[in-house]
Structure 1
Amino acid sequence: MIGVFDSGFGGLTVLKEFLRVLPNYDYVYLGDNARAPYGNKSDEVIYEYTRQAVDFLFKAGCQLIIIACHTASSKALRRIQQEYLPRSYPNRRVLGVVVPVVEEAIKLSRYHRLGVIGTTATINSGVYKKELEKLRNDLEIFEQACPLLVPLVEEGWIDKPEANMILKKYLRPLKVKEIDTLLLGCTHYPLLLKDISRLIRLKWQLKDWLCI
Structure 2
Amino acid sequence: MTRTLTELSSDQREMIITTVHKEAEAAGWSQLSNSRKSALYSAWESQYNLSHATLKDGIMKGFDAAQGIPKKAEAEIQDEVTRILRLAGINVIEQAQMWTGKERADLLIGYSAKFPTHVIEIERADSWSEGLRQALWYQAAIFKAERRHVLPVLILFGNTSSDRFEQILATCDHNHMTLCTHRLDLDGTLEAEYSLGALLNGAAFG
TM-score normalised by length of structure 2: 0.35
Which of the pair has the greater relative contact order for Cα pairs under 8 Å at 6+ separation?
A: 1
